[in-house]
Structure 1
Amino acid sequence: YEVFIPLFPRDPWIRSKTLTNGKKTAATLQFHSAVDDDNIAARRAAQEACEIGRATLVVLDAQGEQLERTEEMAESASFAVKKSNRILRGMGSWGGWVANLATPNVTRITATKEYKKCGEGAPRTEAAPMMEGGVDEEHRSHLLGGRTTRTGGPTKPGSLDSIYERQENHLDAMSAAAAELSGIGMAMSSALSEQVEAIARIESNTETLNDDIRTVSRRAGRIAQSKWSKREKAAFKMYVNIRQIETQLLLGSMNDVVVLSASSPLALANIWGLWERQGNAIGLRNELTGRWIGQGFLGDIRCTAMEFGKWEEWEMNEKCMSSTRLICCSANWNSGGYIHADQDTLTVKGINPDSKKGAAFWSFTESEGYEQRKMAKTNKK
């Protein structure tokens, strides 16, 4: 509303009309001043959100750098262990030496870092700068004072053009802040996705590294026993039933053939003597046949050995005997291999992560009362 300038100030009606318009103008200016305060507060909040977003991107980038360094360290350790494993394989036997000739040498994997970019070539730790305009008193005075419109014409304080201009400036500033926040959000999403993938790779590399370390430990133990010291005698641990978790079938032996059956756990064919030797190697002796389960000459699993030799060495997770995979230590040139169960047939696979995923899980439980029954039978004799 424009202030009404009376042509005849002495006229009472015109005088009252002038006062009324003056009150409306004051109320309008007060209203738009409150709107300006709200706009300034909104721009302040937007700027703070952008600053927090930039700081978060910096933290995410540092975290990504740390994950990359961890991945590089894991790959370096994996290379050293694989190299040691190859050397020990060649030292262990002529077959291992021939296997080294037939397989390519271990090569180091060099990780290359790719910086993700957000927007038009900006690094992910940066976003589009907020457009000029602010929340301090200087910008407030500019907003409330006279300035030039988009068309270049002067404006008056309190006029509709001035109000429109302030609103347009506010919308421009908020639009720029929204664009920056959108860019920050996209950069954060990209960084988090990369870190999730990096964590998955580190987890996979750690599992592979753990398997490789166990393989090196087995090879080193075998070389130590065969070349520099006498073979350590196996120590008896307990009598166990071995149940495949997926099918709930018991591992047993019938006529020197390894089978999975649903017969009673008390049957001698399903009871195994668990023996342990240096290097975390275990042996399984069937109580019905008195023979040891191991890998045959053709790679199949049999229960025909009269002694606990190298071909009868197995490995499991002793810390979790209720759910563990079984590794045949002599498989794959003494590198080991996971046991897979297809219905009632057991096969030896590789030692790689794919073979590990498909390996069968086994539950080792102590055979209740068998040792007491055996001792009572021996004493009776």
Structure 2
Amino acid sequence: MNFLHPVFTILFVFLIIYSFIEVNGNDERGPKAILFAVGAYMIIIVGLRNFVGADYPIYRGMYAEFFPTIDYSQLLDKMLFRKTDLDIEWMYVFLNKMVYSTGLPFQIFTLVSAIITISLKLFSYYKNSAFPVFSILLFMIPAYFIADSGHMRQALGMVFCLISFKFIKERKVWWYLLCLYIAFGFHKSSVVFLPAYWLAVIPMNSTKIFYAIIACVILSPFQVYNLFSGFLNSLNVQDVSNGFNGYINFEAKSSSFMDGLMLVYAYMLIAFDKSACEKVYYYEYMRNIMVFGVCLYFIMRDNPVFSTRLVGGYMSFAPLVIPNIIYSMNSNATKRMLHLFFVVFMIFYYFVFVRYQGVAGRFTPETYQNFLWNN
């Protein structure tokens, strides 16, 4: 039996244990100190990683060899949507150049990237989830490894999509668009999240959610996304190397593991909509965003890249929606049963992840390295 490196396994076990305290305790949100400690730990073990995660060698080479050759005038052209030969997002290059200009090594850039993505995610979980530590557990596998520890551009883009939820709730469209502009500056695929501001306020209920998802499941074999293939391919959803393509195919192909997960999400969204709407502020907004993500997944499920990368901004709301659904249950027995189901599922997912992504991404005891203790 394979395991992730102990630094990840210890974190995983702690999150499971504390999630039981959250769900069964009186103080749902728990002390802030727990989140600060967990966040700092998560930042260190991925921020200071050494040759771990998809695209790490390529990004490290670009940091010292390619990005310094790019002029700020090129970034300005890219920023203002002027024609340019630069084929990588300007905000990501700008962040690289800012860190590189200080003379610091690449591991400091990965640390800065981890600080931005993980701290903003945890802040959003604390503000919007009844069980924030449980939210971290649901986020950890696979997003923590695939995005925050691998596809850093997309992780940075996705976190600004998540943070924009504050302005979706407050109906501040210009601040929302600023978040999306920053997200787009880190990864072009973030533009797919643009409709979220308006999708969030569409009146929905269990029946409408059911029909919307069923319609998208029926449309799935027809590959209707090909009508927009030119636009979708222009978003450069694949990263700079093919580091994780193998297990993307494993998760996203027909009759895949991800299909089952999406069906579970669909059931939760449909079956417990009324109670969640009654008890959780702004649940309808985050629910609508996630419903669209599930629908988008089924429409694109025959394309392993589109179905895993383009839906990322929407599905990053799952760690908010699922804990809030569980929180809304009137019956403590039902609440505990649903929580236990997802804990067991995450344990199962842990071992699936280790066998495929964990080995490919060098997250195992034999391959993981950290600059704090490996030189």
More strand by share: 1
Greater RCO (CA < 8 Å, at least 6 residues apart):
2
Normalising to structure 2: TM-score of the pair?
0.25
Normalising to structure 1: TM-score of the pair?
0.25
More helix by share: 2
